[in-house]
Amino acid sequence: MNTTSPSLFDRIVGSAIAKLAIMFFIVLLLLIPLSWVDDLIQERKQRHERVGDEIAMKWGGQQVVNGPVIAIPVEERQPRTVVGEDGIRQLVPDMRKEWIMLLPSDVEVTGTVLPETLKRGIYDAVVYQSDLKITGRFDGLDTAKLLLENSTVKWSEAKLVFGVSDLKGLTSSPVLTWEAKQVPLASGEYALNLFEQNLVADIPLGGPEGTNNTFDVQVELRGSKSLNFLPLASQTHIQLGGKWADPSFNGAFLPTERTVSESDFDARWEIPGFSRKQPQQWRGEPSLLYTFSGESLTDESAAGRSDAVPPERASTLSTDGDMVQVNFLPEVNHYQKTTRVTKYGILVVILTFASLFFTEIIKKRRIHVVQYVLIGGAMVLFYSLLLAMSEHIGFGWAYALAAVATIVLIALFVKAITRQPQTAVALGAMLSLCYGFIYSLLLLRDYALLVGTIGVFVMLAALMYFAARIHWGQWDDLEAKPL
């Protein structure tokens, strides 16, 4: 019987190098559905954030509590030039209205915060109820520094201004005590736009000595995601406690003392006024003292963003980074965890394909390219399963179920195409190690990079070990017929 040797083309197409090239091309193709999965994660994450914002609109947004500030109107006579009908210029008296602003010398904030989770469908949002007590004192106004010679100070029209960023979160009318008397607080004083939303009380003063006084205000406030304070006093003391096991302390100031347990926390701040951007007292037109973005408070790069601050006001306008911030967001939600798992997707595909390729050589039977594609598709589908189930049963259980389903599916498929149960068991064990290793990385924080790098190094060493024990010339002896 005459046999013809295979042509050069047939030898090239059937070579190990060609098979490796095809596997590499499949890996590149699988990057496309992996990117689709990542887009799906981001879409679901944004939907979750929108639902959280809708809940916050009805409950109360991220709250910024600040103040108080004493505001005293002052009128100054300023002659201005006018041109009469006869064309003659003449000076006429004119009144210009400004405000004298005085910041407190000492403020103490004590409060209890009770966060909880509200659900809408499969989504949830962290909200809280707080009971705050703000006490302090003003040391008095130094009129010598305000140039009041040609001005009339209307002491009887003085006001005390507090700031709460979302008045919708007030569950009762705040109670202000001034000069040992209770004074009502009202909103809607648009002339004094010192804060996002103002609570203003009338405090008629008899003169400069009237500013030397103490105050006390109690506020029951609801909000969501975070509670923020802008320290304006020469010395600010803040003490907060609440039922939340994982608070995040951001902003410009970390607590001087803090205790965090499995069920609650307690923290205290001592903040001198050296870092504030406003003077103790000033005179001028009322303008906002701060701007608050509230975006990505858990992201260090977003803390204190000032890109929206006009350059001329950068030295006087406070931002998120000048505040005391306590965040009640979950440290890592299932969307963030799924995103982190997806980043290891291509590594799992490469390890699985390498194991299958070595199996071809060791068992001397070829696996068809289509079968590689199906196995790769099953590994990509793992991430969609993980995302879908984590929205309903939590990330831990979803990861376990998705991993078991994927491993069993691939193992049964390999058993069917190789007809060797031990090969399917070995591949299933390898996949179990990969998925278990990735999950362990999610539980680590400071050592995740170190452990991950060591793990990948060990995997590479194992592949090099098996590659060194394989006689690559065996590839030409494999059966040409796919399994």
pLDDT attached to residue 297: 46
pLDDT attached to residue 231: 92
Residues 173-184: what's their mean pLDDT? 86
pLDDT greater at residue 392 or residue 87: 392
Residues 137-148: what's their mean pLDDT? 82
pLDDT attached to residue 299: 47
Contact 420, 363 (CB under 8 A): yes
Residue 87 clears pLDDT 70, i.e. is over it: no
pLDDT attached to residue 306: 47
Contact 293, 308 (CB under 8 A): yes
Contact 283, 309 (CB under 8 A): no
d(CA 456, CA 436) in angstroms, rounded, equals: 13
Helix (H, G, I), strand (E, B) or coil at 158: coil
What is the residue whose two structure tokens read 């995040």? 248
Closest by Cα among 172, 146, 176 to 73: 146
Q: Give the CA radius of gyration of the chain.
A: 34
Helix (H, G, I), strand (E, B) or coil at 335: helix
d(CA 416, CA 177) in angstroms, rounded, equals: 81
d(CA 131, CA 32) in angstroms, rounded, equals: 51
pLDDT attached to residue 298: 46
**pLDDT-based confidence at 134, cuts 50/70/90?**
very high
Backbone angles phi, psi at 276, to 5 degrees: -70, 155
d(CA 470, CA 304) in angstroms, rounded, equals: 58
pLDDT tens profile 16-65: 677 778 888 888 888 888 888 888 888 888 888 888 888 888 888 889 99
How many of the other CB atoms lie within 10 Å of CB of 416?
Answer: 11
pLDDT mean across residues, the chain: 81
Residue 313 clears pLDDT 60, i.e. is over it: no
**pLDDT-based confidence at 222, cuts 50/70/90?**
very high
Residues 455-483: what's their mean pLDDT? 66
pLDDT tens profile 400-438: 999 999 989 988 988 888 788 888 888 888 888 888 888
d(CA 287, CA 299) in angstroms, rounded, equals: 29
Q: Which two tokens stand for residue 472?
A: 């690559």
Category of 388 on φ-ψ map: left (φ > 0), alpha (ψ -120 to 50) or beta: alpha
Residue 465 clears pLDDT 70, i.e. is over it: yes
pLDDT attached to residue 136: 92
Residue 1 clears pLDDT 80, i.e. is over it: no
How many of the other CB atoms lie within 10 Å of CB of 396?
Answer: 14
Residues 6+ apart with CB under 8 A from 25: none
Selection from 191-200, 352-361, 466-475 with the highest mean pLDDT: 191-200
How many of the other CB atoms lie within 10 Å of CB of 246?
Answer: 14
